Chains A and B, each alone.
Chain A
């Protein structure tokens, strides 16, 4: 089974609203990353949060990490139609040999 599991699987909101996506994982991690994918093609790296960090911001993105609960959340504030995409979390466990383990993703639709 996949290390990361995103919740919800699909999310539909109006432009201007905030979108929150959650990710749970099973093993210890070195870091956790969030990626965005448009139309099922290449992934764009959004943000990396290390295991000793609890919160990180990048523009309209806010990521939190709770290692005790093995979970992370991605918040997109003031969403735009252009934010419509699939969002994946990926974990990098210690000693993984650089292999990222991805969750199933959240499909976000932002309606104009």
Chain B
């Protein structure tokens, strides 16, 4: 079946502009995660959704970052007033109900470049 998809695959934006990144999880997966990966680094957790609610927003780096999920499916990560340090690959993952603890399936990511 279809995996996690993300759009756009690449986004170049000017400093100060807002961007929206989209994630379509695997159908039926109730949990959804956003991570950020800076160049040559490991993944940094941003936010986690269970259904439409976000019990853990502890990883959001600033109040310029927000995320929502509607209908228990698609999620949007919004970065307002982008800064150059926001440049990174943003990865989304989803988990099935009843999967192994921590079992996550990742999308291909959105590479964000802030100029």
B101 near A98: Cβ-Cβ < 8 Å: yes
Question: With A2-B42, A100-B45 as given contacts, are A42 and B109 in contact (CB-CB < 8 Å)?
Answer: yes
CB A29 to nearest CB in B, in angstroms, measures: 9
A41 near B42: Cβ-Cβ < 8 Å: no
By size class, the interface of chain A is 20 to 34
Contact with A along B77-106 (1 / 0, CB 8 A): 000000000000101010100001111111
Across-interface contacts of B103 in A (CB, < 8 A): 45, 48
A102 to B42, CA, bound (A): 6
CB A38 to nearest CB in B, in angstroms, measures: 10
By size class, the interface of chain B is 20 to 34
A29 to B106, CA, bound (A): 21
CB A108 to nearest CB in B, in angstroms, measures: 14
Contact with B along A77-112 (1 / 0, CB 8 A): 000000000001010100011111111110000000
Across-interface contacts of A102 in B (CB, < 8 A): 35, 42-44
Would you give 12 A-B contacts (Cβ < 8 Å), ordered by A? Answer: A2-B42, A40-B39, A41-B108, A42-B108, A42-B109, A45-B103, A48-B102, A90-B102, A96-B102, A97-B48, A101-B45, A105-B42
17 more contacts with CB within 8 A, not counting A40-B39, A98-B31, are A30-B102, A31-B101, A31-B102, A42-B109, A43-B43, A90-B102, A96-B102, A98-B50, A98-B102, A99-B45, A99-B48, A99-B56, A100-B33, A101-B45, A102-B42, A103-B42, A105-B41
